Amino acid sequence: MLSMTIQGKNVSVFPCEKPDAPAIYLNTVSGEGLQIYSELQKHPLPDFSLIAISGLEWNHDLAPWNHPPVFKNTPAFTGGADNYLHLLTDDILPAAESILPGTPCWRGLAGYSLAGLFALYALYDTDAFSRIASVSGSLWFPGIHEYIASHPTKCLPDCVYFSLGDKENKTRNPVLKTVRENTESIHAYYQGQGIHTIFQLNTGNHYDHAAQRTAKGIAWLSTQ
């Protein structure tokens, strides 16, 4: 693993020795990159490099637009996703790939929770990533379903992975309870666009086995 800091973001690169192997980018809460990388090593998978980014301002860097808090005593969402995406593509990506052997034959973008929402949102502002994993993605985020239905992606992705815990919509919170309906609807919309996509249900709530679920989504991307 190689580490660097770029404009306050911590970047951990797990390089593949094979030239021109794919590169999968992963936004994480607090440095779970090594744990997820270790999970991936338990399975025979095609060669790829993993680049994990942490040190994010979670409710700012990954939120596509402003929105009030959905829980009491939690911060508001302050719509910094566009700025962070430009940092990711303009600065983090070239710095990480400068230490990889060759040029990645394709790039993926993965994330859990709000980072899963961001991974999907990125399709509408950049063509840098052709494979997306939205793992327990926060697709309850108000307005995201309408945004996806009314905006074109910058390029048609090769494939998109969706997953949720089967208890994630079992809540009294009127915003969060829409997550399964929205995820299934967006999944169906992408299928209708001819995009290769899958939706998987995992056992448990939003906080169960996050690293394992994330590794599962990344593994699926790598094998398509």
Read off the pLDDT of residues 148-172 as tens digits, 9 standing for 90 and up.
Answer: 999 999 999 999 999 999 999 999 8
Residue 61, burial from CB neighbour count under 10 angstroms (0-12, 13-18, 19+): buried
Q: What is the pLDDT of residue 15?
A: 96
- The third-level CATH classification (topology) of the domain covering 2-222 is Rossmann fold (3.40.50)
- What tens digit of pLDDT does each residue of 83-102 get? 999 999 999 999 999 999 99
Show me where the domains of the chain are located: 2-222
Beta-carbon neighbour count of residue 185 at 10 Å?
A: 15
- What tens digit of pLDDT does each residue of 108-138 get? 999 999 999 999 999 999 999 999 999 999 9
Residue 74, burial from CB neighbour count under 10 angstroms (0-12, 13-18, 19+): exposed
Position 222 confidence tier, pLDDT thresholds 50, 70, 90: very high
Residue 53, burial from CB neighbour count under 10 angstroms (0-12, 13-18, 19+): buried
- What tens digit of pLDDT does each residue of 180-202 get? 999 999 999 999 999 999 999 99
- What tens digit of pLDDT does each residue of 38-80 get? 999 998 999 999 999 999 999 999 999 999 998 888 899 999 9
What does DSSP assign to residue 76? Answer: P
Cα within 13 Å of Cα(118), Cβ side: 30
pTM for the model stands at 0.97
Whether the CB-CB separation of 159 and 194 falls below 8 Å is answered with no
